[in-house]
Chains A and B, each alone.
Chain A
Amino acid sequence: AQKITQTQPGMFVQEKEAVTLDCTYDTSDPSYGLFWYKQPSSGEMIFLIYQGSYDQQNATEGRYSLNFQKARKSANLVISASQLGDSAMYFCAMREGEYGNKLVFGAGTILRVKS
């Protein structure tokens, strides 16, 4: 069965510094997709970045990059130049297989950016 593990319940980072949020996954399916979502206190889930299992390069979206290490089954999110507005809950999620939109989520990491 597929599983997502986020081992950091909470993280602090100084404004303007970079931070890495950890995510490891487990699946036996050769085709899968990995996602990171941000959830501010308002509750809405905001899509940040996506990495496909067959992608050769690490995904990047503005200040977000995904450090994808397939052999280690890890998909860490790197946020560069942290901003106060980055304070939120961050979820790593995985879709297993070629079809469907069922995501399995990790427990999440609360990120607090300090000024």
Chain B
Amino acid sequence: KAGVTQTPRYLIKTRGQQVTLSCSPISGHRSVSWYQQTPGQGLQFLFEYFSETQRNKGNFPGRFSGRQFSNSRSEMNVSTLELGDSALYLCASSSRTGPFSVLTFGAGSRLTVL
């Protein structure tokens, strides 16, 4: 069974550009969550999608957006990149939501903003 696949694994952008990251969940998983990991702030929740609907959103500016497609694949977009957006972006999927669901993470997309 294939795991959570994130692409690209590494990317370098310059300030002001935008970036789109992709996440393919485990087959059958309908919930996808995104997290940002930085040395200073640690792991922070960005947003969660379930059946193409955003269910929850973290405390990030509007430059951060996401969406989920009918096949459960998800993308997140960051516009007008800032140096502080340099981070490891992790995607996690789950077959369901609620107290007994376990999130399986992908290997992450490491973004460097110059």
- Chain A residues engaging chain B, CB cutoff 8 angstroms: 31-33, 35, 37, 42-47, 50, 52-54, 91, 93, 95, 98-108
Chain A contacts of B94 at CB under 8 A?
101
Which 3 pairs across A and B sit closest by C-beta, in order of nearness?
A45-B105, A105-B43, A44-B107
Main secondary structure of the interface of B (DSSP, over half): strand
8 contacts across the A-B interface (CB closer than 8 A): A32-B99, A37-B105, A42-B107, A43-B108, A44-B108, A50-B102, A99-B97, A101-B101
Q: Cβ of A43 and Cβ of B92 under 8 Å apart?
A: no
Q: Cβ of B55 and Cβ of A100 under 8 Å apart?
A: yes
Contacts A100-B55, A101-B92, A102-B48; is A47 near B102 (CB within 8 Å)?
yes
Q: Name which of B33, B98, B99, B104 has the most chain A CB atoms within 10 A of its CB.
A: B99
Q: Cβ of A104 and Cβ of B102 under 8 Å apart?
A: no
Q: Cβ of B104 and Cβ of A101 under 8 Å apart?
A: no
Q: Cβ of A44 and Cβ of B48 under 8 Å apart?
A: no
Count class of interface residues, chain B: 20 to 34
- Chain B residues engaging chain A, CB cutoff 8 angstroms: 31, 33, 35, 42-45, 48, 50, 55-56, 58, 88, 90, 92, 94, 97-108, 110
User: Closest approach, in angstroms, between the C-beta of A86 and any C-beta of chain B?
Assistant: 18
Contacts A43-B107, A45-B105, A47-B104; is A101 near B33 (CB within 8 Å)?
yes
Contacts A45-B90, A45-B92, A108-B42; is A101 near B103 (CB within 8 Å)?
yes
User: Closest approach, in angstroms, between the C-beta of A40 and any C-beta of chain B?
Assistant: 10
The complex places the Cα of A50 from the Cα of B102 at a distance, in Å, of: 8
The complex places the Cα of A46 from the Cα of B4 at a distance, in Å, of: 11
- CB closest chain-A residue, reference B44: A105
Chain A contacts of B56 at CB under 8 A?
100-102
The complex places the Cα of A105 from the Cα of B102 at a distance, in Å, of: 14
